[in-house]
Amino acid sequence: MPVLFVSHGAPTLAADPEKGAAFRRLGAELPTPRAVLAISAHWERTPAATGTTQRGHLLHDFAGFPRALYALRYDAPGAPSLAARVQALLGVTHDEARPWDHGVWVPLLHLLPLADVPVLQLALPSRSSPEDLFALGVRLAPLRDDGVLVLASGGMVHDFGSITRDDTTPPPAFALEFETWVRETLTARDWPELLRFASRAPAFRRAHPSPEHFLPLLCAAGAASVGGGTIAFPIAGFELGSLSRLAVRFD
């Protein structure tokens, strides 16, 4: 299976067919996964743990949005057998009470709209070093051979201080510079450079005043680093000025 990193944007993506269309195209191009293992910026726990194995157990972890968003469902099955496998691979615990947050179910509403593929969420151990996050991804790489889609969900540029009210404002220069660095580093498969993002990437602290929306990319890169393969950017652009929509597909 490929590995994906997606920029999940605002929760309103869930009910936006226009912005969701790019996710639907990406999902249609994927081989059908046997299960999804999702790592989202919105569940940080160090050390990591696996979450719910119940069907459609959602967390509407946002406020101030239209009421209709809180009624949305994504009734995919849970993945108890995958949870046991991940726990064995990583030596982590399990938190059955933790639902899927919007970093998981919002993109999946479009990527896999039939909601027929089992889903498991793995917490992001955000207090780990970049090297340890990458190594976590490496340890997950065998799941790809079992038909598991590793889905890392965050935001390639996530600076709320620069957002605007609409999508017509061009992105600021720092956002474009940072995204260009990420694209070039990933395309070169320069993993050591990627792990030095805090000191090497231009304007990292502007692009990510807090790093949790970038860190899932390190897990995805680790899972994709075993063997060769191509790297593509199937979704691109910005919304609300500075929020990146960039997605990365590692084959």
- Fold of the domain spanning 3-250: Protocatechuate 4,5-dioxygenase; Chain B (3.40.830)
Using left for φ > 0, alpha for ψ between -120 and 50, and beta otherwise, residue 241 falls in: left
**Predicted pLDDT of residue 183:** 98
Q: Residues 23, 111, 153, CA angle at the centre, nearest 5°?
A: 80
> What is the pLDDT, as a whole number, of residue 227?
83
pLDDT score, position 64? 83
The pLDDT of residue 202: 96
For residue 83, with 0-12 CB atoms within 10 Å meaning exposed, 13-18 middle and 19 or more buried, which class applies?
Answer: buried
- In this prediction, residue 167 carries a pLDDT of 78
The full length of the chain comes to 251
Report pLDDT for 196: 98
Question: Domain residues of the chain, as ranges?
Answer: 3-250
User: Cα–Cα distance between 43 and 195 in angstroms, integer?
Assistant: 21
- Residues of the chain below pLDDT 70: 160, 164
Q: How far apart are CA 195 and CA 103, in angstroms?
A: 23
**What is the maximal distance between C-alpha atoms in the chain?**
47
Q: For 109-147, what is each residue's pLDDT tens digit?
A: 999 999 999 999 999 999 999 999 999 999 999 999 999
Instruction: Report the sign of the C-alpha dihedral through residues 74, 34, 229, 27, in that order.
Output: negative
Q: For residue 107, what are its two tokens?
A: 């993109």
pTM value surpassing 0.75: yes
Count CB-CB contacts under 10 A for residue 164.
16
Which secondary structure element, helix H or strand E, spans residue 20, and what is its range? helix 17-29
